[in-house]
Structure 1
Amino acid sequence: MTTSWTADDLSFLDAAQELEIAVGSRRWTPIWVVCADGQVYVRTWYRRDTGWFGDAVRSRSAHIRVPGLDAEVTIEDIGTASARVTAAVDAAYRTKYTGGGTDAMVTAEAAATTLRLDRR
């Protein structure tokens, strides 16, 4: 069962430079996180079946943490299913992360890796 993110949850996630994610027995992995339209999203540079991303897509669940928040999540692989969501997530990445690496996170290849995290 999923629940909505609270305003405090979204604030903690938005303030964090990185979210730590643990999928199954995998160690914590730091990744960039953005909030858009009251939802939480993560991406990787390119789609792959290995590492945290492959495990997350297969298991559809994970544990996340940022300062002030520790939560179990379900994972929805949305890729580029919605042009509106893709544009909102791209804008959130551009706003939150300026400088090195940001351009790579808003390419079509990176957008295809978009995962929505829903609080459990």
Structure 2
Amino acid sequence: MTTWTSEELDRIGGATELGLASVRRDGSLRRFVTIWVVRVGDDLYVRSGYGRGSNWFSGAMQQLAGRVRAGGIERDVIFEEPGSGVDRAVDTAYHAKYDSHGATNLDPMLTRTAAETTFRLLPV
């Protein structure tokens, strides 16, 4: 498995939105959906504000693989469930990056339900 380059971390982590497409069972990509992405150190994280029932999250859970694009970068990724040890740092990153979007938009990303859908994006 490879790691993110500094440029990829800066460009994807600095992008307001990320396009995410999960891999279907037949290997094809689902359509890209737009979600928020945050950077914590040398890692990139995404969450579902709608919980495990959201279409993109349930699709990602099937193969744990997909493709992301943001900041002019497009990469194949693996979706890894990092466990609750990163919840506070990811919450802090969401606050720092998206507070200006208002509580109505940000608060769903900070719930326990959303935290349970956190994926770390690992480049392939």
TM-score by length of 1: 0.89
- Segments of structure 2 that go 5 or more residues without pairing to the other structure are 24-28
The corresponding residue for 1:91 is 92
Picking from 111, 117, 124, the partner of 1:107 is 111
In structure 1, give the amino acid aligned to 2:9.
L
The corresponding residue for 1:31 is 35
Separation in structure 2 between the aligned mates of residue 64 and residue 72 of structure 1, nearest angstrom: 6
Mark the CA change 1:44 to 1:50 in structure 2 (over 3 Å): closer, same or farther.
closer
Separation in structure 2 between the aligned mates of residue 44 and residue 87 of structure 1, nearest angstrom: 16
Between the aligned residues of both structures, percent identity stands at: 39
The corresponding residue for 1:67 is 71
The corresponding residue for 2:59 is 55
The corresponding residue for 2:122 is 118
CA contact (8 A) 1:57 1:77 kept: no
Count, aligned residues: 116
The corresponding residue for 1:19 is 18
Moved over 4 A (4+): none
**Greater helix proportion:** 2
Separation in structure 2 between the aligned mates of residue 38 and residue 3 of structure 1, nearest angstrom: 12
CA contact (8 A) 2:48 2:54 kept: no
Query: Once superposed, what is the RMSD of the aligned Cα atoms?
Result: 1.4
In structure 2, give the amino acid aligned to 1:95.
A
Separation in structure 2 between the aligned mates of residue 52 and residue 108 of structure 1, nearest angstrom: 18
Separation in structure 2 between the aligned mates of residue 50 and residue 36 of structure 1, nearest angstrom: 24
